[in-house]
Chain A
């Protein structure tokens, strides 16, 4: 029982310490982000928000070839692509991305062989109708001009995943 007793000196010390913390916080700068006026910087490797379909910068053609890889890999089956073929390559006749069930796993970006689908630096926008969460091809193309594209691209991520080619001497790795 003796161990449970708190001496008055300890109690006084603890009280002064906690009051000192209160005093410190009284004069500290507030941590609140005044959201609509100032915004938090979005991190570089941002994964979230909405998507965009990109176009080629030189020719202005859309990059998507309608290969349906993103439709295949999507874990919640929100992407539906229809393909059509003319003028020597495939095109996406329609591209529907349903943000109602999207979990922003970025897998569709990772598998894209032509860097066509990317995520953008932008927040999720709240909508008042459920249909507005379904992004069709026109909305996805318009998103490219509205927001800057995020860091991750299909080819960039695939390069990171690839094992390095060549022997160790060729790559300049010296033995341990």
Chain B
């Protein structure tokens, strides 16, 4: 954002603020989530997508089960180490820019499963943007998380072109 006077661009200077604002506005209002539901939190996530809470009011209703078409990953449910490599691969397949919501206690910190098979928090292998606690969190809390992601996108700088 601001006046760009880099000698690479001739040194004349131009303003990038308008473009980034438009790109961020478009990204923010068309988040396509990739639902990675492995346990009971996924039921609550379905509730968010359905008509009672209606995530389409935030432009995020197109749940894409192909990671190539998604840019927001909602990890909801217990992630075991065997599942973790799959989760990481799906995250790697998503195109940039991408965001991750960790939904529920199990994804935030392992939940009640302090055992040999369960990952103690998915930030061991994923960069997480928003954590939502709760077992499971209410649909309103997930909507709050999506709104927080939107706020984060708004704050971002110039888009990578």
Tell me if chains A and B make direct contact, with any CB pair below 8 A: yes
A86 close to chain B: CB less than 8 A: no
Q: Which residues of chain A are within 8 angstroms of B87 by Cβ–Cβ distance?
A: none
Chain A: minimal CB distance from B86 (Å): 22
Distance between Cα atoms of A40 and B109 in the complex (Å): 28
Contact assessment for A34 and B145 in the assembled complex, using a CB-CB cutoff below 8 Å: no
Chain A positions 40-90 with a Cβ under 8 Å from a chain B Cβ: 40, 48-49, 75-77
B121 close to chain A: CB less than 8 A: yes
Contact assessment for B132 and A126 in the assembled complex, using a CB-CB cutoff below 8 Å: yes
Interface of A is mostly: loop
Contact assessment for A76 and B112 in the assembled complex, using a CB-CB cutoff below 8 Å: yes
Against A, the Cβ 8 Å flags (1 = close, 0 = not) of B77-111 are: 00000000000000000000000010001001111
Chain B interface: which size bin? Answer: 20 to 34
A16 close to chain B: CB less than 8 A: no
Distance between Cα atoms of A75 and B128 in the complex (Å): 26
Contact assessment for A123 and B140 in the assembled complex, using a CB-CB cutoff below 8 Å: yes
Q: Which residues of chain A are within 8 angstroms of B129 by Cβ–Cβ distance?
A: 128
Q: Which residue in A30, A32, A126 is a CB contact (below 8 Å) of B141?
A: A126
Chain B residues close to A by CB (< 8 Å) = 51-54, 57, 101, 105, 108-112, 114, 121, 123, 128-135, 137-138, 140-141, 143-145, 147-148, 152
